[in-house]
Amino acid sequence: MLFHPAIHDTSATVDSFWESERPGLERVDAAPLARDETTDVAIIGGGYCGLAAARVLAMRGIAARVLEAGEIGWGASGRNGGFCSIGASFLGPLEQRGIFGEQETLAFYRILADSVRLVSAIAGEEGIDLQAQGPGVWTFAHRPSRLKELEAQASIGQQLGIASRIVTPAAFAQEAFACTEQAGGLFEPLGFGLHPLAYCLGLARAAQRRGARLHAHSRVTAWQREAGVHRLRTQGGVLTARRVIVATNGWLPEDLVPELAGRVLPIMSNITTTVPLSDALLAAQQMKTQAPAANTRAHLAYLRLLPGRQLLFGGRGDTTGRPAGLGAMQRLLEKRRSALFPALTGVETSHSWRGLIAATRRLTPALGTLPSDPSIAYAFGCHGNGVAFMTWAGDALGRMLSGERLALPAQLSGLPDRFPIPALRLWYLRLMLLRALVEDRMD
């Protein structure tokens, strides 16, 4: 564990806005594993990735069981900002073209676009109420120099048939909202906001209806490989499987999977929500859109106006995970929020919470099977854009393990290199955040 143990305490309820609405959502019956069982595919992680994989496997007649350490949706899948959008890398399109080439960059972005469409398709097929808002996603430039990368993103979208467009500062204020720091922006019509926990629980029920078995509060405490099978031990029993999917992203259990150890950099993301905003406050900031929005700062800020008129506002900065850090990050986000939206200075915060996203050393996701043991599949490194991408990744793993051959672009293929001296990853994170502060001040 790189962060304080409190971050990994699955017995604690996350005090998020979404969690406060769990009682009003249709529940998922996922009893802990209570005895020794056998399945074809065991899936570690009950978030978007693991549930999407379980759904596809069950649809194809393959027995699948999900082992989740906490409640279904306890991790990032139940507490993120609810952005269903194009993205899953800390590299922009210009950087990717330089590293991977034009065709691989297009192939990667095609997957990202398909990921957003897949969420909508699954919701339609399974009758999941996403509480969708949009349509579309905004990215606004915090400096004029950042428009270049947004123009490259718009060009990629247009090549894929998406009517992405760049807007002037005046047009952004007219269509989205007024804030103190924007030099125009990018609008991508493919994407929307959603209720992340409602989607996660809906995906869980869909997997169950298809025949998958789900076990909450079933942390894997030991893993033995013998005689061509895997034995995953939990407090309640042992699950024996021919194949395993590791779908834990930022909460990767490195002690259980040595081949994956040191390849993930967990990054803390913090989110706040305000109390419902009055008509006067909304008018003061010219809030017209319910589409999600994020700025181009390396020290990212992301926000969306929720259906009940609460403003969700998130960002990064905590590098310890200590309980006291939650209050400090709330105050920092309130300061950032007020700097962007002066009329909201002093508005009460209703909820403040945090969770882990996952980055890799190559700054792109990883998906595949272990070279040392092809019976173990993995997906991780959504880089803060897990709603769409991790759904696609789980769906892809389910198809792969049921015999379908997938052609993956270079950005996804193979294991990313380990971080040098993995025990020092939090120091790498601190250096990244320091660098982000410097970059944000540069033209």
Q: Is the pLDDT of residue 335 over 70?
A: yes
Q: Tell me, what's the pLDDT at 442? A: 65
Tell me the CA distances in angstroms from 330 to 49, 256, 269, 315, 389, one per residue in order. Answer: 29, 33, 11, 10, 28
Q: How, if at all, do strands 265-274 and 293-295 pair?
A: unpaired
Type of residue at 152:
A
CATH of the domain at 125: 3.50.50.60
First to last CA, the chain: 37
CB 55 within 8 A of CB 207: yes
Task: With respect to residue 443, please indicate whether it lies within any of the assigned structural domains.
Answer: no
Do residues 103 and 411 make contact, with C-beta atoms less than 8 angstroms apart?
no
Residues 13-37: b if buried by 16+ CB within 10 A, e if exposed: ebebbbbeebeebeebebeebeeeb
Question: Per the domain annotation, does 17 fall within a domain?
Answer: no
Q: Are strands 37-44 and 238-246 parallel, antiparallel or unpaired?
A: parallel
Distance separating alpha carbons of residues 278 and 125, to the nearest angstrom: 37
Q: Per-residue pLDDT for 298 more than 90? A: no
Dist. CA 312–CA 302, nearest whole Å: 8
Q: What pLDDT score was predicted for residue 432? A: 87
Arithmetic mean of pLDDT over the chain:
96
What pLDDT score was predicted for residue 292?
98
pLDDT value for 299? 82
Structure tokens at 225: 């490989």
Residue 5 resides in a domain: no
Name the band, by pLDDT with cuts 50, 70 and 90, for residue 443: low
Which residue shows structure tokens 């720091």? 181
Query: DSSP label at 267?
Result: E
Q: Say whether 314 sits in a helix, a strand or coil.
A: strand
- What is the dihedral sign for C-alpha 62, 71, 86, 380? negative
Q: Count how many residues are written for the chain.
A: 443
Query: Is 312 within the bounds of a domain?
Result: yes
19, 78 in Cβ contact below 8 A?
Answer: yes
Query: 374-401: per-residue pLDDT in tens?
Result: 999 999 999 999 999 999 999 999 999 9
Q: Would you say residue 13 lies in a domain?
A: no
Q: What is the percent of the chain with per-residue pLDDT over 70, rounded to a whole number? A: 100
Q: Which two tokens stand for residue 246?
A: 């590791």
Query: With a threshold of 0.85, does the pTM exceed it?
Result: yes
Kindly state the average pLDDT of the residues 189-202. Answer: 98
DSSP letters, 59-112, are: HTT--EEEE-SSSTT-SGGGTS--EE-S---SS-HHHHHHHH-HHHHHHHHHHH
Dist CA 56 CA 98 (whole Å):
35
Residue 336 lies in a domain: yes
Coil/strand/helix, residue 195? coil
Q: What is the pLDDT of residue 328?
A: 95
On the question of a cis peptide bond just before residue 135, with omega within 30 degrees of 0, the verdict is yes
pLDDT (tens digit per residue) in 152-163: 999 999 999 999
Please indicate, yes or no, if residue 36 is contained in any of the structural domains. Answer: yes
Q: Which residue has the tokens 């009758």?
A: 127
Of the candidates 138, 139, 120, 140, the one whose C-alpha atom is nearest the C-alpha of residue 130 is: 120
The average pLDDT across 247-261 equals 94
Return the percentage of the chain with pLDDT > 90, whole number. Answer: 93
Q: Tell me the residue range of the domain where 186 lies.
A: 31-436
Tokens 């249709």 belong to 26
pLDDT bucket at 1, cuts 50 / 70 / 90 = confident
pLDDT digits (tens, 9 = 90+) for 353-381: 999 999 999 999 999 999 999 999 999 99
Q: Write out pLDDT tens, residues 46-104.
A: 999 999 999 999 999 999 999 999 999 999 999 999 999 999 999 999 999 999 999 99
Distance, CA of 95 to CA of 343 (rounded, Å): 37
436 confidence band (pLDDT: 50, 70, 90): confident
User: Per the domain annotation, does 1 fall within a domain?
Assistant: no
Residue 165 has pLDDT above 80, yes or no: yes
Work out the number of other CB atoms within 10 angstroms of the CB of residue 424. 13
What is the spatial distance between Cα 416 and Cα 396, in angstroms, rounded to a whole number?
18
Count of structural domains within the chain: 1
